[in-house]
Structure 1
Amino acid sequence: MTEFGDFASIDVEKLLGSAQKQLAQVEELQSRTAELVGRARDKDGLVTVGYTSQGLHELELNPRAMRLASADLADLIKSVARESAADLERQTHELMEEMFGADNPMNLLRDPDAALAQVKQAEAAYDRTFEEVMSDLEQIRRRLQS
């Protein structure tokens, strides 16, 4: 039998335990991710931004920022907001590395070709398993008809 064909050897308790552990990790990840805040400040200290998974969370403008032209201030705010969003992304990646190590799902987003290769491997494994099960069922049907 191939690696997927021997269903009798599946350790259901181990499988359930693994699923429960993964669910607990996902719940912890959600909880800890909700607490993250990406922060950035421009070099002159005029604009400070806090960014969370919900979007712009904090915006502080130093009174000196009001002396800028409105277009310049808008550009500065957008630039600092992008930096704070990048900081949030960095923190999220570090958290996922801490929790998942080499199996960090964020790595798949950074390398779509690797993600597609994993999907194709899973598809091939599913196809092999399906073919084996159908073959086994056909053999059982033939035996029952004899």
Structure 2
Amino acid sequence: MADGGFDDFDMERFRERADARIDAVERLQGTLSSLVGRARDEDGLVGVEFSARGLSELELHPKAMRLSSGELAERIKETVRAASDDLYRQMNRTMAEVLGQEGDQARFLDDPEAVLAQVREAESAFDRTAEDVLGELDRISRRLSM
């Protein structure tokens, strides 16, 4: 029955590609959650680690206590910003590698939470589409075998 329908459709290949894409998205989510941005101020007095959950480590060298409170606060803020930027650069690189969007990396830095939401939404849409296609193929297969 060659009517240009599903005769040329390779179900096994479709499943393999769907599984590979889902695996890639799952790896991406795991990798993104494990990334840590790091920074030190120019004098090495303030060290910061910044993760997806926010500030995860703040290290102050004893000499930092010699700074005025205002100067120390400014250094901490600048170092947190630098560590945050480092984290977003890592996220950007990782997402570009997994999703293949190397030409559009700047948008990842602008709003990483929105990009993560898009990844989750794309994964859900892909899952729904795969389920719809597989369900439709199953219904067609049952009709043809009657």
* TM-score normalised by the chain length of structure 1: 0.62
| Offset, 1:11 | 3.5
Counterpart check, 1:70 vs 2:74: no
How far the C-alpha of 1:74 sits from its partner, in A, is: 1.1
User: 5+ unaligned residues in a row in structure 1: which ranges?
Assistant: 1-5, 113-146
Q: 1:30 to 1:55 in 2, by over 3 A?
A: same
Percent of residue pairs identical = 41
State the 1:53 CA deviation. 0.7
Q: State the match for 1:107 in structure 2.
A: 105
Structure 2 stretches of 5 or more lacking a match? 111-146
Deviates more, 1:91-100 or 1:78-87: 91-100
Q: Is the 8 A contact 2:96 2:105 kept in 1?
A: no
- Deviation by residue 1:41-95 (Cα, 9 ceiling, x = unmatched): 0011110000011110100001111121112111110100000011111111222
Residue 100 of structure 1: how far off its partner (Å): 3.3
Match for 2:52: what amino acid?
S
Contact 1:38 1:84 in 2 (8 A): yes
* Structure 1 residues 78-121: Cα deviation after superposition (integer angstroms, max 9, x where no partner): 100000011111111222233333x35963835x9xxxxxxxxx
Alpha-carbon separation, structure 2, partners of 1:37 and 1:30: 14
Which consecutive aligned stretches of 4+ in structure 1 deviate over 4 angstroms post-superposition?
Answer: none
Evaluate the alpha carbon distance shift between residue 104 and residue 18 of structure 1 in structure 2; reply closer, same or farther with a 3 A threshold: farther
With over 3 angstroms needed to count, the CA separation of the structure-2 counterparts of 1:83 and 1:34, relative to structure 1, is same
Number of the residue aligned with 1:97: 96
5 Å-filtered alignment, 1:11-30, equals 11-30=10-29
Aligned with 1:87: secondary structure? helix
**CA distance in structure 1 between the partners assigned to 2:13 and 2:102 by the alignment:** 22
Q: TM-score, normalised by structure 2?
A: 0.62
Structure 1 letter corresponding to 2:105? N
Q: Which has the larger radius of gyration?
A: 1
C-alpha contact (below 8 Å) 1:50/1:84 kept by paired residues: yes
**1:143: which partner in 2?**
none
* Aligned equivalent of 1:47: 46
Alignment correspondent of 1:133:
none
RMSD of equivalent CA atoms: 2.5
- Preserved CA contact (<8 Å) 1:47 1:60: yes
